[in-house]
Structure 1
Amino acid sequence: MSRSHQTLLLPVKPWFVWFSLLCGLSINLLPWRNNGLMLQPDFVAVLLLYWHLYEPERISIGWGFTFGLLMDIADTSLFGQHALAYVVMLYLSSLLARRMRLFGFWNQAIHVLPLLLSSNLIMSGVRLLADGRLPTPSYFSAPLIGAVMWPFFVHLLQWPQRRARESEL
């Protein structure tokens, strides 16, 4: 086990969970251009996945549906495509959650990649059925970037919990 998993974390503050999800939504809506769009992971999906994995009593599959609808509205995409993708991704992650929490961050990233890829596949399948357009192959690089960034996200999101514990010692 990695050293970070041996550290006991303080309970997360509910406002921090919601703040991080709203920040992810805001970052997703930034006007990325050309190569930036290709390299941008779906921050909402990564954050939903993290919070569903580490705080399943706070972030359930229903919140995936809600944030998916918010992404559909904000992104002016086909209504329900993000919602469906996030719900399926969170359902699949709930099947792996007990196992994933035992792994180190890099091993978790190996499991995160197919989960993020499933989300992108569902969204591209919905688009294909709706308007017959196939996504470019670069569309599928975003899940890889999200999986590579997973340890950074975990460290960043656990930092407030760890920092408070270390200051008490």
Structure 2
Amino acid sequence: MSRQRNGGGIVIATVLLAFALALWPLPEYLGLFRPNWLALVVCYWVLEGSGGSRMGLGWAFVLGLAADLVFGTLIGEQALRLCVIAFIVLRFRARLRFFTLLQQAFAVLALLLNDRIVVLMIRALSGEGMPGWEFWVAPWIGALIWPWLYVLLDDIRLRLRSRDGS
């Protein structure tokens, strides 16, 4: 039982940290290059989740709705985006788990670029204008961050697992 609580606690802590990093004030010109921290954390937990830290489509949807409320976006936009990412990671989880970190970074880049395409579709349907070239930079930064984020989260997860005696 303690494994489930600690597993869930680390997921909650990392999701809250992702929200904090996403809300951290940056100058406008740097804000365009901010990676989608929540998507990166959801990718990790869907990819590595087991036991009490299991993240799936339901949690991705709930986190997306919370993100819609926190970020002030169209209700359901973040939920749709995170569900698409979680679905693709769940679908290819068995393969992605055995990729090297470099291969995973390219897979995460593809996921984040796909996320940008979903955003473009939502913008087109809502009548918003099309963004500039800077719109496409954040996924590349997210892919560059992925190996370090993966190693950090994996280290924390494994330390907690060994501390709990499993």
Whether the 8 Å contact between 1:38 and 1:139 is mirrored in structure 2 is yes
Question: Is 1:108–2:104 an aligned residue pair?
Answer: yes
TM-score normalised by the chain length of structure 2: 0.86
Q: Deviations over 1:50-95 (max 9, x none)?
A: 1001005611111111111111111111111111111111111112
Equivalent in the alignment of 1:91 = 87
Equivalent in the alignment of 2:11 = 17
Equivalent in the alignment of 1:150 = 146
Return the offset for 1:163.
Answer: 4.4
Question: Is 1:136–2:132 an aligned residue pair?
Answer: yes
Alignment CA distance shift 1:99-1:77 (3 Å): same
Return the offset for 1:147.
Answer: 0.8
Alignment CA distance shift 1:99-1:120 (3 Å): same
Describe how 1:1-169 pairs up with structure 2 within 5 A.
Answer: 13-55=7-49, 58-163=54-159, 165=162
Equivalent in the alignment of 1:5 = none
Cα-Cα RMSD: 2.1
Give the secondary-structure state (helix, strand or coil) at the position aligned to 1:39.
coil
Instruction: Tell me the matched-pair count.
Output: 158
Q: Which amino acid aligns with 1:16?
A: I
Structure 1 stretches of 4+ moved >6 Å: none
Q: Within 1, Cα distance between the matches of 2:9 and 2:40?
A: 18
Give identity over the alignment, percent.
Answer: 28
Q: Deviations over 1:27-72 (max 9, x none)?
A: 1112222232122101000000110010056111111111111111
Q: Which amino acid aligns with 2:35?
A: P
Return the offset for 1:132.
Answer: 2.9
Give unpaired runs (5+ residues) of structure 2: none
